[in-house]
Chains A and B, each alone.
Chain A
Amino acid sequence: MVKVIVRRLVELAVALFLITSATFFLLAAIPGDALSAQTDNLPEAARQRVYAQSGLNKPVLERYATTMTSMLHGNFGESIADPGMTMSKVVHEKLPVSLRLGLQQVLLGIPLGLFFGILAAIYKNTWIDHTVTVLSLLLMSVPSLVLGLLLQSYFGGKLGWFPILGWPEGSQLWFGGWALTILPTVAGALTHVATYARLLKNSMLDILGSDYVQTARAKGVPEYRVVTHHIVRNAAIPVITRLPMTVAFSITGSVFIESIFVIPGIGQYFVQALNNRDVPIVMGETVMLAALYIGSLFLTDLLYMAVDPRIKLYDRKEG
């Protein structure tokens, strides 16, 4: 058990190291860097001074070594394209925005999805089940990008009920300014509603016919208790193990929603940094986003082992 966990941790650390290095070399390999647009018209001497200041004039491997060591010490350096911006500022100013957006999506979407999933499983083959099934298939076929655009153009544009762009700032960063957050939250949450409704329904249907459910009914256990204690508890396993990935995706995967609604979160800033070839910020955000993703992968594995001891990770003796 401990051995499995340690091995998994090593694998994930290698993955994190690989993506960081790959990002660095990919960014180094392309012609043009963060400074070339600003310095192309400067005289040669001045240009070299600017480059020496940012360290961009050194050989690639040396820059790689300095970048990696300073990143190990938590120092990602200052943005080149956006002076004064550092990763700690990104964490303080941009991350809360994405965190709030992601959490609101999860808190709205998952409970609703679970509710509809239970309804569809209990009233199997009735109109309730059919409506939930069709709607969730439809919602899963519409990417959150498209949902966001549709909500934005209809409720924001045509009906004018909500602001089209923006995000609460300052003292309202964590609480308040709800009108601005409703459309982006709903756009991301609808996908969760569909996914979780389908997940819980299918998992409940597998359990509905099992012996211990029949036994419980035969003993005279009230129906609501059969549902809550016998069915939902056991059907919750796939839901629980999926939670960490959903949360991670809601925070990192909101790139599209952030760019539709012009929300100043980490996703939008990452795209901006990518387009500017802003190496320090791209590297910093890559490490942050990859660590978040890889951390939740690890959490998922641990949860699998915790909820169902029968599952052995990486059982190599399959065949």
Chain B
Amino acid sequence: MALPDFAFVTPEQRRAQAAATQVAAPPSIGFWKTAGRKLVHDRMALLWLAVLALIVVLAVVGPWLSGQNANQIHVDLRNAASSSAHWFGTDRLGRDLFTRVCLGIRISLLVALLATAIGTVIGTIYGMLMAFFGGLVDELLLRVLTIFNSLPSLLLTMIIMAVLGSGVGTMLFALAITSWSYAARQARGLVLQLRHKDYVTAALMLDTPLWKLMVRHFVPNMASILILDIGQSIPANIFAEASLSFLGLGIQAPQTSLGILIADGQDQMLQHPLELYIPIAFLVLIVLAFNIFGDSLRDALDPRYQAQGGRS
């Protein structure tokens, strides 16, 4: 509704005009809200998120649900088939497979999440610092980073595990040491772009302490990219844990993990293939869920995809 110039405008007309403008240009929606809306409408993402949630619930309450002890050996019940007492049957020592699988998922997920968290936090702080200070500090830290990036990670992890002995703590250390450099590289690149923004300059002039600058200004502005990296790092760490434990260089009995269950399953592969297939199925489901949900997250969070309004 176009109004002639200098015409007398009644309050009703003004309101109507405002409403019309509103319709023409819908209220602007924030970045995170757009991302959230896209995710909610992505059925594939929701489905796999649900699968993931279900597996996590299983890992947490599974052992309690089955009421079996994971290390209880039943000599007369070796390699039993599935029954009401042992839902997935028992393994070659007569231990309840369902409980063991739940515990294995728990350890595998825990190791992957913690290793990712440690690697990301250390790497991000390292990267932010080098980009923030620049100059000689950047130069020096970048040298260290490049050298760390050139180390063969599998080799390094295997040597660390063999030397420091197997176990959850060593595993976390070994995985974090090989995974922080990628996060550092990303954080450095992002902060180099953010450093000369007006709000950062303003914050600096107000004498904002460095930690506050990082927490309040840098991290929120690179959160979407960090989240995507975390989403890729978790399945990689799950792979690494399972593979190392399979070789006997990772988690060790009596603790269990998906890798150990798979290694145990290989021994019984010919007679009782289910003992191999069940842990493998869970490993693949978890990684697949992370990968598919990660793809959807990218569609929702990456500004380039967000603007296009769809996956390529």
Contacts and interface: CB of A to CB of B under 8 A. Distances in A.
B163 A146 contact: no
Contacts of B138: 316
Contacts of B239: 143
Given A14-B147, A140-B291, A146-B284, A274 B162 contact: yes
A149 B276 contact: yes
Nearest to B284: A142
Contacts of B212: none
B270 interface: yes
- Secondary structure call for the A interface: helix
Given A11-B143, A157-B273, A319-B196, A143 B243 contact: yes
Contacts of A200: none
Interface residues of A, number: 50
A289 interface: yes
Contact of A141 (B152, B193, B235): B235
B242 interface: yes
A165 B292 CA distance: 34
A13 B247 CA distance: 30
Given A146-B262, A289-B155, A290-B152, A255 B247 contact: yes
A153 B269 contact: yes
Contact of A157 (B160, B189, B195, B270): B270
A15 B262 contact: no
Contacts of A255: 154, 158, 247
B247 A259 contact: yes
Interface in B210-240: 235, 239
B281 to A, nearest CB: 10
B151 A15 contact: yes
Contact of A256 (B192, B247, B312): B247
B83 interface: no
Given A18-B147, A275-B248, A145 B291 contact: no
Contacts of A310: none
Contacts of A303: none
Interface string B137-177: 01100110011001110111011101110000000000000
A29 interface: yes
What are the 6 closest A-B residue pairs judged by CB atoms, nearest first?
A: A319-B192, A274-B162, A293-B152, A15-B150, A141-B288, A26-B163
